[in-house]
Structure formats: C-alpha cells, structure tokens
Amino acid sequence: MPEWNIIQAVNDALKLEMRRDPRVVVLGEDVGKFGGVFRATVGLIEEFGPDRVIDTPLAEAGIIGAAIGMAMYGLRPVPEIQFSDFIFPAFDQIVNELAKLRYRSGGQYSAPVVIRTPIGGGIKGGHYHSQSPEALFIHTPGLQVICPSNPYDAKGLLLSALRQDDPVIFMEPKRVYRAARGDVPESDYTVPIGKAQIARPGAGMTVLAWGAMFHEAEKAVGDLDAELIDLRTLWPLDIETIVESVQKTGRCAIVQEAPRTAGFAAEIAALVQERCFPYLQAPIARITGWDTPFPYTLENDYLPLAPRISRKLRELADYEV
C-alpha cells in the first residue's frame, strides 16, 4: 500500500472514476496540459484526452455554468476552481442554479456536479488565495460540502461524491496538500458522506475540527483528556456522533480557520446547545480566525494554530461553574 499525500490521493480518485465511468469529465483553468496549479490533474489529459479533460478560459461563472449544462445532459462534470477565493464569480451559478436544479425541476433533472477547490491559508497566499468560505455554501440548501484532512479520506470521499447525483463542493485543504501523508489503497473504495471520524477517544472534552485545522487541533490536544473528532463532511453534518460525544464529555470546543462571526462553528455550537444543554459543564468554545481579511504578513497570527488552540482547550478544561 503506497504512502500518498492528498494531491496524489485526489489524482488517483479522478483516474479511477474516469476509467470506470466514461461520463466523468474534468474541466477548469490549467487542468489539462499543465496538470492543475497544484498538480492534482497531472496525467489525466494524456490518458483521457482533451474531450474529457478540458482547459477552460479564466471565467469561473462560465466553468460552473458549462458544468451544470453538462450534468443536465447526462455527463458527470468535475470542475476545478483553482482557489476557493476565485469561486465567487460563480456564486450565482452555484447557489441559484446548481443547488436548486433538482428542486425546481421536480426531480426531472439531477445535478451530479462535484466542484473541487483548494481552501484555506498557510501558503503565504495573502487575502485573495487563503479564504475559507465553507459557511456560505453550507447555508445554501441543496449543496453537500466536504473537507477531508488526510489522503485516505480525500480519495474515499471524492469517489463517494462522484458516484451520487447531488452537487458537492469538495474543499481540499491546501496547507496540508503535501504535508498530510498516509497509507492509501490503490484499489477502489469509498468513505461514506455524512459520517465523522473519532480520531482519538476521550472523556474530558470534545474537540471538533476539519481540514488543515484538524492537524493543528491534534497537536494542541497534547496530554488533555479529549475526544478529537474529524468532521470530514461539513454538510450533511454527523450531528449524532457529535451529540453522543458531548453528552459523554460535557465540554465542547470547535476549531475553524474561517472568521469567527457567522462561521460554521457558530452553527455547530447552536446545534450542540440545542441537543446537549443539560449535559454541558462549560460554555462551548469557538477557536477561529479573526474577523478581518486574511493577512499576508500576519498569517500565523490569524490562523488558529496549535498554541492558541491549546491555551483555549486548557481554559475549557479548567472552567468551573
């Protein structure tokens, strides 16, 4: 079994599915001859040709609009948006067309579009290449939002996304694109959408994270008695696993890279409070980015890295009513 990074895992998933299903097509800026800005589509055009691996103009609304049309006519497009920051020109196509296609057609049309996009900071990309807009898409009914933290899950979740008929925003944490490595089967397998993973059992508190921040939370937990959960799928959210954990531990911390106000951590906190209020022994903690544009020179101050997470977790552990 090879040890791969997330880029290699994503690339292998795309190859496997394109071999299995001739309806799968990849499109986006530089995905063909160049192999993608992060090299996730290397080798695809050589194997599958320019009819299935399509280099597009720099026009995100056009990329997603074309993908929606392809899906309505029976293809299974996988558009790549080079950075999640660039997805906003296509926002109208995604939230007003793609997300509503099955509903507005009364089920006559499905929308099997999987939008791949790198997310988050940590590569000195500045404020136009470092954002984490997951909450905007979670807020839109009709979309599934996935953000794996490791190569095994990246491959398995991407294959699951490619094989179902609803639109998916597949967010890949670029900070750990190559840093997160692990054993990945070369064979075909899937990871279920909507199921979190308990990465480390514990009884003293519940720590929730996803994507690149999962690795920071893992470092921050240290010797604390904490149950660490990798959400993997942001929406649909595995609220059952979260509730079971918080009812056991009585304390909950949520780590997100995005700005604090109206972020996904706030929604999770509300869901936990509604279901676990009698069990809570401390206020739910949110450890997040700041409510500012993502800074270039102060990147490490903006990101909720392990030292800041650790301080907050120890405050949570020490809290007494």
One-character DSSP codes across 262-312: T-HHHHHHHHHHHHHGGG-SSPPEEEEE-SSPPPSTTHHHHS--HHHHHHH
Per the structure, the complete domain to which residue 46 belongs is given by: 3-183
**Residues 132 and 218 reside in one and the same domain:** no
Q: In this predicted model, what pLDDT tens digit does every residue of 133-157 receive, in sequence order? A: 999 999 999 999 999 999 999 999 9
What tokens does 126 get?
Answer: 């500045």
Among left, alpha and beta (phi > 0; psi -120 to 50; other), residue 49 is left
Question: Residue 24: which H helix or E strand, with range?
Answer: strand 24-28
**Residues 145 and 219 reside in one and the same domain:** no
**b/e per residue 215-242 (b: at least 16 CB within 10 A):** bbbbebbeebebbbbbbbbbbebbeebb
Report the DSSP pairing between strands 205-209 and 181-183: unpaired
Residue 172 has pLDDT above 80, yes or no: yes
Q: In this predicted model, what pLDDT tens digit does every residue of 217-261 receive, in sequence order? A: 999 999 999 999 999 999 999 999 999 999 999 999 999 999 999
Residue 257 sits at φ, ψ, to 5 deg, of -85, -25
Residue 190 located in a structural domain = no
User: SS3 breakdown of the chain: % helix, strand, coil, rounded to 5?
Assistant: 40, 20, 40
Q: Which of 291, 228, 306, 284 is CA-nearest to residue 258?
A: 291
How much is the average pLDDT of 206-219? Answer: 98
Residue 277 located in a structural domain = yes
Residue 191 located in a structural domain = no
Cα gap 66→88, rounded to integer Å: 16
**So which residues are the catalytic ones?**
129
Amino acid residing at 240: E
Q: What is the pLDDT of residue 155?
A: 98
CB atoms within 10 A of CB 59: 13
**Residues 152 and 209 reside in one and the same domain:** no
How much is the average pLDDT of 175-187? Answer: 97
Q: In this predicted model, what pLDDT tens digit does every residue of 44-93 receive, in sequence order? A: 999 999 999 999 999 999 999 999 999 999 999 999 999 999 999 999 99
* Cross-strand partners of 171: 117
Residue 82 located in a structural domain = yes
Count how many domains the chain has: 2
Q: What is the pLDDT of residue 122?
A: 93
Cα gap 110→167, rounded to integer Å: 9
Cα gap 35→302, rounded to integer Å: 31
Residue 145 located in a structural domain = yes
Q: Which of 119, 115, 85, 81 is CA-nearest to residue 97?
A: 115
Domain harbouring 283, CATH code: 3.40.50.920
For residue 316, what pLDDT band results from cuts at 50, 70 and 90?
very high
In percent, how much of the chain has pLDDT > 90?
99
Residue 252 sits at φ, ψ, to 5 deg, of -145, 135
Residue 102 sits at φ, ψ, to 5 deg, of -65, -40
Residue 189 located in a structural domain = no
Domain harbouring 139, CATH code: 3.40.50.970
Q: What is the pLDDT of residue 83?
A: 97
**Residues 58 and 126 reside in one and the same domain:** yes
Q: What is the pLDDT of residue 191?
A: 98
Q: Is 146 helix (H, G, I), strand (E, B) or coil?
A: strand
Report the DSSP pairing between strands 181-183 and 24-28: unpaired
For residue 321, what pLDDT band results from cuts at 50, 70 and 90?
confident
* Cross-strand partners of 80: 28, 116
